[in-house]
Amino acid sequence: MKPSKKAMTTLTQEEAHRLFEYRDGVLYWRERPVQSRKAKGNMEAGTQSHGYKKVTVDQRRYYVHQIVFLMHHGFIPKIVDHVDQDKNNNRIENLREANKAINSLNRPIQPNNKSGYKGVFWNKQKQKWQAGLYISGKRIHCGFFDELGLAAEFVDLARQMAHGSIGNASFKGA
């Protein structure tokens, strides 16, 4: 069965306001959507999937953060970034339009990181902490350090100088 033209169109700002109410980072259905038997008016919209809430409108799936952005700015950008990295914090002040570079700068520290600091790792050959970061897709070496804290401070300063406030803090739990 071929999808209808309506199913292939992108949600508009007017439709989003008609279907949803935005309250403090949460979307609520204004009325029961046609495709849902469970959802009711004034019920929170979205189901959790891979950390993000998603909703279906006219057979098309959207992330809740995309709809929140659309409701406030009138369009859905290619990438919507959560400034604080919390996938469930869909308050408009926590959402920004981004590109791949900005989005990757705001990635959290990776689970396999052993130093506890973004951009810092132990160099076995030199027996020192090595610091570095990426600028425009190129790895920049920031130096070798005897102390982990100094390496972390240095790479954090370099990150601030290179990227301003876009990137997140370099240590776990920040």
Mean predicted lDDT score pLDDT of the chain? 84
Least confident of 52-61, 136-145, 156-165: 156-165
**The pLDDT value given to residue 107:** 76
CA distance 105 to 85: 11
Q: Which residues touch 103 (CB under 8 Å, ≥6 apart)?
A: 79, 81
Q: Which residue type occupies 28?
A: Y
Question: What is the predicted pLDDT for the residue at 109?
Answer: 81
Supply the pLDDT for residue 6. Answer: 42
pTM more than 0.85? no
pLDDT for 1 equals: 40
Share of the chain above pLDDT 70, in %: 83
Q: Is the pLDDT of residue 133 over 90?
A: no
Residue closest to 66 by CA, chosen among 4, 22, 1 = 22
Q: pLDDT class for 129, splitting at 50, 70, 90?
A: very high
Which pLDDT belongs to residue 40? Answer: 58
Domain(s) labelled CATH 3.30.730 in the chain stretch across 102-163
pLDDT, tens digit (0-9, with 9 covering 90-100), for 52-96: 999 998 889 999 999 999 999 999 999 999 988 899 999 999 999
pLDDT at 149: 94
CB 145 within 8 A of CB 131: yes
- Record the tokens describing residue 15, joined without a space: 């439709």
Looking at 11-15, 53-57, 130-134, 156-160, which range is the least confident one? 156-160
Q: Domain 5-98 adopts which CATH fold?
A: Homing Intron 3 (I-Ppo) Encoded Endonuclease; Chain A (3.90.75)
Could you tell me the fold of the domain covering 102-163?
A: GCC-box Binding Domain (3.30.730)
CA of residue 163 relative to chain centroid, distance: 17
Q: Where in the chain is the domain with CATH 3.90.75?
A: 5-98
Query: For residue 142, what pLDDT is reported?
Result: 93
φ, ψ dihedrals at 17, nearest 5°: -70, -30
**pLDDT tens-digit profile of 23-47?**
999 999 987 666 555 655 678 998 9
